[in-house]
């Protein structure tokens, strides 16, 4: 942290040598600039040269291009650690939610080269992925290649034909060794941490999970997890979280705990307190949450294996089939689980006070867990498809806008604290592994010009659960700038630019 501030100050001094008369490529005037690292919350002008912020100043400056942002908040571009929807349509919808960096650190990808090649040159937002532990299991147990992100290449659908061995099998000793090698290779090919979504294969051998902590430790990486057990009763979601906190502390590897309320359910406050105590005792644990009481996954997921009603407190009537919007019955549940194992459903399983405790905790990051938005056949939509056409849980489209509305109206967090949870805490966590992140998540001279500019009175997530509203654009995000390029300007998409850059381990 000290090193980062020193560097930022040094770059700031260099920028000040440039005369105030210089014309910058782009100047944003009159914005209320919020920088969570320095706690700046003042009206400033921002000068951008190329892909970086050259100056943040109260002085008048001019540029070849000017944006008047009076009355708006300028924040560092939002960083989503949990964007499963890596297709162009889902990415477009998410840009309208202020997210200038959209990573999948939970499910991840394998091989990483396939993922990064698929995204290069076509991305509106910056992108990155963890090494997908589940993808290693898919390859070894079902013979299914993920070819990058398994959420995007229908790898899960293919595994349905081999009985989803990856989700129910225990690895052999030989497979554990092979997983170690695949994952190590993925880290060396840029994977941002190891994504261990063991919640989808809860009978996995504990030794195999512990090995991922060792592999992370040996290769200067970290763990992210969707832990075991979506359950209020033992073995509970909190117990699943304990497994990873113990590994994080034993092997001294940082940890991202995705969507804490999703697994901890009515024990969410205890789960949050455990993270706080771990961090107070020297751990580096970053918890995450989204501002919805409903969750979403694919219908063959282990969480819906027999006994799910007792474990989760839900029944068939709490499940919605995304493609049709219908509420499931025992009959349709069994039909879809057999015939469409990779189809998405939405479930109501989190209580409002638990969700609020998580999203308003000053150290818990906001992450969308946005599933890929799909058409009524379960396929990705073309980039040009209208807002509202995509089907899925509204968190894909509205997470950050909805969070800002709740946090601003709640009033207990300061604006720099509110913004830290959308950008700075994420960048600070990744910085030891991806040094370029020292220049993101901040709004300072010398950082990349990823800037989310929103109207604090208007901002909100507009996506809902009803058909036709799942993928409505968030409102209030007036300008969204990625690496110096306005991707959204005056509320309109500039589809001609694709300024998103790869973020990889070691770079």
Rounded least distance, CB 410 to Zn ion, Å: 25
3-state DSSP of 71-106: CCEEEECEEECEECCCCHHHHHHHHCCCEEEEEEEE
Q: Is 161 helix (H, G, I), strand (E, B) or coil?
A: coil
Query: Which pair of structure tokens corresponds to residue 257?
Result: 């705990």
Nearest CA-CA partner of 84 in 101, 116, 113, 108 = 108
Between 37 and 369, name the residue whose CB sits nearer to Zn ion: 369
* Residue 181: partners with Cβ closer than 8 Å, 6 or more residues away: none
Q: How far is CA 111 from the centre of its chain?
A: 20
Residue 21, judged by CB atoms within 10 A of its CB (0-12, 13-18, 19+), counts as exposed
Between 197 and 397, name the residue whose CB sits nearer to Zn ion: 197
Rounded least distance, CB 263 to Zn ion, Å: 8
- What character string, x for contact with Zn ion (CB under 5 A) and - otherwise, covers 172-211? ----------------------------------------
In this chain, which residue has its C-beta nearest to Zn ion? 226
Between 72 and 238, name the residue whose CB sits nearer to Zn ion: 238
Q: Which of 133, 137, 226, 504 binds Zn ion (CB under 5 A)?
A: 226
Choices 45-53, 226-234, 424-432, 441-449; region in contact with Zn ion by CB under 5 A: 226-234
Pairing of strands 40-49, 326-327: unpaired
* Residue 3: partners with Cβ closer than 8 Å, 6 or more residues away: none
Between 190 and 295, name the residue whose CB sits nearer to Zn ion: 295
Choices 155-163, 220-228, 407-415, 468-476; region in contact with Zn ion by CB under 5 A: 220-228
Choices 61-69, 130-138, 170-178, 222-230; region in contact with Zn ion by CB under 5 A: 222-230
Rounded least distance, CB 33 to Zn ion, Å: 34
Count the residues of the shown chain that bind Zn ion, applying the rule CB under 5 A.
Answer: 1
Choices 224-232, 234-242, 374-382, 464-472; region in contact with Zn ion by CB under 5 A: 224-232
Give yes or no for residue 228 binding Zn ion (CB under 5 A). no
Rounded least distance, CB 369 to Zn ion, Å: 6
The count of residues in the chain is 507
Cα 378–Cα 119–Cα 86 angle in degrees, nearest 5: 35
Distance CA 312, CA 349 (A): 7
- One DSSP character per residue, 182-200 reads HHHHHHHTT--SEEE-GGG
Between 84 and 337, name the residue whose CB sits nearer to Zn ion: 84
Rounded least distance, CB 295 to Zn ion, Å: 8
Rounded least distance, CB 21 to Zn ion, Å: 51
Distance CA 8, CA 448 (A): 12
Residue 454, judged by CB atoms within 10 A of its CB (0-12, 13-18, 19+), counts as buried
Rounded least distance, CB 106 to Zn ion, Å: 5
CA–CA distances in Å: residue 380 to residues 152, 153, 213, 221, 384: 8, 10, 34, 32, 12
Between 44 and 228, name the residue whose CB sits nearer to Zn ion: 228
- What character string, x for contact with Zn ion (CB under 5 A) and - otherwise, covers 137-156? --------------------
Rounded least distance, CB 350 to Zn ion, Å: 13
* Residue 234: partners with Cβ closer than 8 Å, 6 or more residues away: none
Between 256 and 502, name the residue whose CB sits nearer to Zn ion: 256
Between 227 and 441, name the residue whose CB sits nearer to Zn ion: 227
Rg of the chain (C-alpha set): 22
Rounded least distance, CB 109 to Zn ion, Å: 15
Rounded least distance, CB 37 to Zn ion, Å: 29
Question: Which residue ranges make up the site for Zn ion (CB under 5 A)?
Answer: 226
């Amino acid at each position: 942290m000290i090193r980062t501030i020193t560097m930022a100050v040094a770059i700031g001094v260099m920028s000040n040598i440039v005369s105030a008369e210089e014309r910058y490529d782009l100047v944003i005037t009159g914005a209320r600039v919020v920088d969570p690292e320095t706690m700046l919350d003042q009206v400033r002008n921002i000068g951008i040269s190329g892909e970086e912020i050259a100056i943040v100043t109260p002085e008048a400056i001019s540029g070849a291009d000017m944006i008047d942002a009076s009355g708006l908040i300028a924040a560092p571009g939002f960083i989503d650690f949990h964007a499963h929807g890596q297709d162009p349509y889902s990415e477009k919808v998410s840009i309208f939610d202020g997210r200038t960096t959209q990573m999948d650190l939970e499910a991840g990808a394998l091989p990483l080269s396939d993922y990064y090649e698929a995204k290069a040159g076509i991305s509106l937002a910056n992108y990155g992925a963890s090494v997908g532990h589940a993808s290693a299991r898919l390859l070894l147990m079902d013979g299914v290649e993920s070819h990058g992100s398994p959420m995007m290449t229908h790898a899960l659908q293919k595994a349905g034909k081999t009985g989803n061995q990856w989700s129910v099998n225990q690895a052999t000793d030989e497979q554990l060794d092979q997983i170690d090698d695949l994952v190590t290779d993925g880290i060396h090919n840029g994977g941002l941490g190891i994504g261990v979504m063991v919640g989808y294969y809860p009978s996995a051998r504990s030794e195999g999970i512990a090995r991922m902590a060792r592999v992370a430790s040996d290769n200067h990486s970290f763990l992210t997890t969707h832990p075991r057990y979506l359950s209020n009763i033992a073995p509970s979601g909190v117990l699943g979280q304990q497994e990873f906190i113990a590994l994080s502390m034993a092997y001294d590897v940082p940890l991202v705990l995705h969507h804490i309320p999703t697994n901890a359910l009515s024990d969410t406050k205890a789960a949050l307190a455990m993270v706080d105590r771990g961090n107070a005792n020297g751990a580096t644990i970053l918890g995450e949450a989204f501002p919805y009481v409903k969750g979403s996954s694919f219908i063959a997921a282990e969480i819906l294996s027999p006994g799910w009603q007792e474990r989760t407190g839900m029944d068939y009537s709490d499940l919605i089939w995304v493609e049709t919007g219908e509420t499931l019955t025992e009959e349709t549940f069994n039909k879809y689980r057999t015939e469409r194992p990779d189809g998405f459903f939405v479930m109501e399983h989190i209580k409002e006070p638990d969700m609020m405790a998580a999203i308003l905790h000053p150290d818990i990051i906001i992450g969308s867990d946005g599933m890929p938005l799909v058409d009524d056949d379960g396929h990705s939509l073309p980039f040009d498809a209208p807002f509202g056409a995509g089907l899925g849980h509204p968190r894909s489209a509205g997470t950050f806008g909805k969070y800002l509305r709740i946090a601003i109206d709640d009033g207990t967090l300061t604006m720099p604290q509110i913004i830290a949870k959308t950008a700075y805490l994420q960048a600070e966590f990744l910085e030891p592994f991806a040094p370029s992140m020292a220049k993101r998540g901040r709004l300072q001279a010398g950082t990349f010009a990823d800037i989310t500019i929103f109207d604090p009175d208007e901002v909100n997530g507009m996506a809902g659960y009803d058909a036709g509203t799942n993928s409505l654009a968030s409102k209030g995000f007036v300008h969204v700038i990625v690496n110096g390029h306005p991707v959204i300007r005056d509320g309109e998409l500039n589809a001609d630019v694709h300024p998103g850059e790869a973020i990889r381990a070691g770079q």
